[in-house]
Copies of this chain bind each other. A is one copy, B any other.
Amino acid sequence: MNSIINDIEIIKSETTKIHDVDFDNLAFGSVFSDHMLECNFKDGKWQAPKVVPYQAISLDPSAKIFHYGQSVFEGMKAYKDANEDVYLFRPLDNFNRLNISAKRLAIPELPENYFMDGLKALLEVDKEWIPKQDGSSLYIRPFIFASGNGFHASPANEYKFLICTAPSGSYFSGKVKVLIEQTYSRSANGGVGFAKAGGNYAGQFYPTQLAVEKGYQQVIWTDDTSHEYIEEAGAMNIFVRINDTLITAPTSDRILDGITRKSIVELAKAEGIDVEVRKLSVHEVVEAAKNGSLKEMFGAGTAAVISPISGFGYKDEDFELPELEETFASFLKKRITDIQTNKVEDPFGWRYKLD
């Protein structure tokens, strides 16, 4: 049953899995919609994308993704409002960042229309999969990986770009307790930390496991030279509130240019909150915790939106954060999700309505 949407060929699934899904009790990213977008790079160029049934991928054992880690991805969400209109949030920023990541990993960059028209066609076909429930959304995972073959340690000559989607609930439930890392590191100066590259995540799992064994849920990454400066929180950017100032580290070649991060910076400024984008030392945070001026810490990212932190560990000492009635975290989370889900005006032009 072929058709065309936005110039994209559609090959529809003959069955649907949607009736097996309990949309009122969704986990994060573990059930997948009926279709996916598939686009192949071969013969030196990206071939036309197609919407196809969600299906297994067959690869030669020598495919370079298995050996040399050439993979990049994005995380996005689609939201339905009360009228069942569908919205994305700053999707061109995801597209641009995907290509920034791809370039650093020597993966060929993708044409904008293949990404945007492909995504729109996919969401049109799987529109029923976008949850209407408050706090849920359709998590969207665009990714590119090296599918070309051979054991030579060099870039592949073939790649696959796919977009898969998963109706999802919250990423974290409740507050998390974090460990300020003093041994392991997430990224190097001149490395790939700014890219959403697969290898950046694999390298975090073991240190995170060690932190979990000590009773924390996430790691706060510090710079690899001195472990003196706070960089990221697990797979999120991090914000720290000292008195009434909200502080986050500047982006760099080690820190992901998070879309939620930069939206929060703009939103907080527009709301009259004092925001500082600057290097933030562990020393300053510990001192603020000791003298009572540390009011909040939270992670920010597409999957978790804003994830409040209840306390942190640093060199065998634990610090609790205060339980405030009104937090920047909950205020900003409501503001941003209200904009995302079309509950309020969007003065920033971030919301992107699908036709």
Residues of chain A having any CB pair with chain B under 8 Å: 28-30, 32, 36, 54-62, 65-71, 73, 103-106, 139, 141, 143, 145-146, 149-155, 162, 164, 166, 168, 171, 181, 183-192, 197-206, 208-209, 224-225, 227, 234-235, 303
CA distance A197 to B103 in the complex (A): 20
Contact A143 B209 (CB under 8 A): no
A-B contact pairs, 25 of them (CB 8 A): A29-B62, A36-B61, A56-B59, A57-B58, A59-B59, A62-B164, A65-B71, A65-B198, A66-B71, A66-B143, A69-B198, A69-B200, A69-B201, A69-B203, A104-B203, A105-B203, A106-B206, A151-B166, A153-B234, A186-B188, A188-B188, A191-B191, A192-B199, A197-B199, A224-B225
Contact B151 A29 (CB under 8 A): yes
Residues of the B chain whose Cβ atoms lie less than 8 Å from the Cβ of A58: 56-58
CA distance A65 to B103 in the complex (A): 20
Given A68-B205, A105-B202, A151-B168, 17 more pairs with CB closer than 8 A: A30-B149, A32-B62, A65-B71, A67-B141, A67-B201, A68-B198, A69-B201, A103-B206, A105-B203, A141-B151, A146-B202, A152-B171, A183-B190, A187-B191, A189-B225, A197-B202, A224-B224
Question: How close is A70's CB to chain B, nearest CB, in angstroms?
Answer: 4
Question: How close is A209's CB to chain B, nearest CB, in angstroms?
Answer: 6
Residues of the B chain whose Cβ atoms lie less than 8 Å from the Cβ of A103: 206
CA distance A188 to B208 in the complex (A): 17
Residues of the B chain whose Cβ atoms lie less than 8 Å from the Cβ of A66: 65, 71, 73, 143, 145, 162, 198
- Contact A150/B71 with A145-B66, A190-B184, A197-B202 known, Cβ cut-off 8 Å: no
Residues of the B chain whose Cβ atoms lie less than 8 Å from the Cβ of A188: 185-189, 191, 224
Question: How close is A108's CB to chain B, nearest CB, in angstroms?
Answer: 12
Residues of the B chain whose Cβ atoms lie less than 8 Å from the Cβ of A55: 61
Question: How close is A132's CB to chain B, nearest CB, in angstroms?
Answer: 21
Contact of A71 among B62, B69, B209, B227 (CB under 8 A): B69
CA distance A240 to B187 in the complex (A): 28
Contact of A203 among B62, B189, B197, B205 (CB under 8 A): B197
Question: How close is A80's CB to chain B, nearest CB, in angstroms?
Answer: 20
Residues of the B chain whose Cβ atoms lie less than 8 Å from the Cβ of A189: 185, 188, 224-225
CA distance A57 to B150 in the complex (A): 15
CA distance A30 to B294 in the complex (A): 57
A32 nearest in chain B by CB position: B62
CA distance A303 to B152 in the complex (A): 9
Question: How close is A49's CB to chain B, nearest CB, in angstroms?
Answer: 14
CA distance A191 to B187 in the complex (A): 7
CA distance A184 to B190 in the complex (A): 4
Contact B62 A150 (CB under 8 A): no
Residues of the B chain whose Cβ atoms lie less than 8 Å from the Cβ of A155: 205, 209
Contact B202 A106 (CB under 8 A): yes
Contact of A225 among B61, B208, B225 (CB under 8 A): B225
The residue among A67, A105, A206 with the most chain B CB atoms within 10 A of its own CB is A67
